[in-house]
A and B are shown apart, each in its own frame.
Chain A
Amino acid sequence: MAEFLQALAQGLLIGSTYGLLALGMGLVYGVSGVVNFSHGDFISLGMFLCLALYSAFALDPYISLVITVPLMTVIGGLVYWYLLRPMVGHQFLMVVQLTLGLSLVLQNGILMVFGGQPARTPSVVESKLLILGDVVVRVPHVIAFVVSFAMAIGLYIMLRSTDFGRSIRAVHQNAHSAALMGIDVSRVQTLTFALGIGILAIAAALLLPGTPIQPAQGLRYTVITLIVVALGGMTNFVGIMLGGLIIGLSEAYGTIYLSDTLGMLLPYGIFVLIMLFRPQGLTWSSSR
């Protein structure tokens, strides 16, 4: 039972951050139809930037955010404007190959700078524990959970009640009509992509404490994110956060109750089944 509760806590806490990773991808898909296969490598980039800042100035990952978030946001904006925007509308199938190429560039750029050895970035809260009865949770996980949900709620409010948020939803629902309102569609798409990458910078810092990182990990994060997005429905906020929790839980329980291999297969199995039988995701109500 203790094991069960422990896995429950762990799964929920990590799952919330998976949800946050997927929100960025879902937003981008919603406004521009781009599925970014270099998503996970941008998470890597965020993590390694934190590592660099720690090595150079002994900055805690949570403090590095002040630098990494604006930096990654700008990088995201540039990537969309110069690489992805020219593809939208024509040659759209090629976006897959382009972002795969980008993934190689990022992953190996990081490899060339940092080398391939697993590295850790310490944080003051890294080894702090929170003990609730039988369940022991690590403080970084609690922080990740709280920040992830705060971010999700913040994003939701932004989308509902600001002009920028409404522009994003308008472009998603009907880009032609949005342009007729005087919304600059390319600009909204670029800013949304930048926002998505900026969110990744935050998620990266949340996942970082206590986790060894290496350049080759990107694809794994991309896959986790895609699974969550497919599970939740590309543009469904509540669904995506729920999807994150489900994948977090299935990972946590899978590794306890199933063999290692089966545990690792479980999320993919869920993904394939969802893609086949409910391509719109688990939750049907659209909160676009």
Chain B
Amino acid sequence: MLEVDHLVTGYGGVPVLHDVSLTLNAGEIVGLLGANNAGKTTLINSLSGMYAPMSGRIRFEGHDVTAMTPKQRVEIGIIQVPEGRLVFPDMSVRENLLLGGINARARAHRPRTMDHVLELFPRLKERLGQNAGTLSGGEQQMLAIGRALMAEAKLLMLDEPSLGLSPLFVQYIFGIIDRLHAEGLSILLIEQNLNLTLRHAQRCYVLERGKVAIEGASDVVKDDPRTRRAYLGL
């Protein structure tokens, strides 16, 4: 479904990602692990089209999307839940969800998808009129995921969804991820939380200073001694 070939991306001409290749098959949860500053967020933003790559290709469902704008990528179903949630703080939960479904493909069915999202996150239903800035971190994460679902994602990319959440919320969010997976969604899961990710993803990539250091099925990656080393950023 998603193929990234030899991607090089950077800021101001200085590469941060060096020759990254990865694939994700339809219906999979793929984990992307890595220490702080490994380049995970840079990668996910490249997939969303936020920066033009210096070289390399990105394909989605057989089409080359490398030159597409962020808007076009949203319209074909590549949706990101950004690091730190980035909900719109001075808008209500309802408005945030409506904005999630603002793209041309999803706009028409917003009432229906909203029902679905609110059923998935009953907490949000209670807080529909409340400003997103007043929600707790866990609730904001629910909203950020709900917003992405409103966009009718085909590929859902989550950037560190467990960041800063209490263990209980982390469990809850991972439960939701499993449920979305069971409903058939393809998921790219970026995490620092090693064990949790290895447990939920079928396959994993470990990014080390902008390069893919290790890849394979989760249990293989788990047993690879290099994983923990890469992880500690040694």
Binding site for B on A (CB under 8 A): 163, 166-167, 169-170, 173-174, 176-184, 286, 288
Contact = CB atoms under 8 A, between A and B. Distances in A.
B71 to A, nearest CB: 5
B231 interface: no
Chain B's interface size range is 20 to 34
Nearest to A164: B102
Interface stretch (B88-96, B116-124, B187-195): B88-96
A177 B98 CA distance: 14
A178 B79 CA distance: 12
B145 to A, nearest CB: 13
Closest 5 CB pairs of A and B: A182-B74, A182-B103, A177-B86, A288-B90, A173-B88
Contacts, number: 67
Contacts of A170: 88, 91, 99
What is the interface of chain A mostly: helix, strand, loop, or mixed?
helix
A163 B101 CA distance: 10
Contact of B82 (A167, A180, A183): A180
B88 A177 contact: yes
A192 to B, nearest CB: 16
Interface string B68-106: 011101110001101000111111000100111011100
B57 interface: no
A181 B91 contact: no
A184 B48 contact: no
Given A173-B91, A177-B82, A166 B69 contact: no
B107 A163 contact: yes
Nearest to B100: A181
Contacts of B90: 169, 173, 286, 288
B147 interface: yes
A166 B98 contact: yes
B114 interface: no
A183 B102 contact: yes
A170 B86 CA distance: 11
B88 A180 contact: no
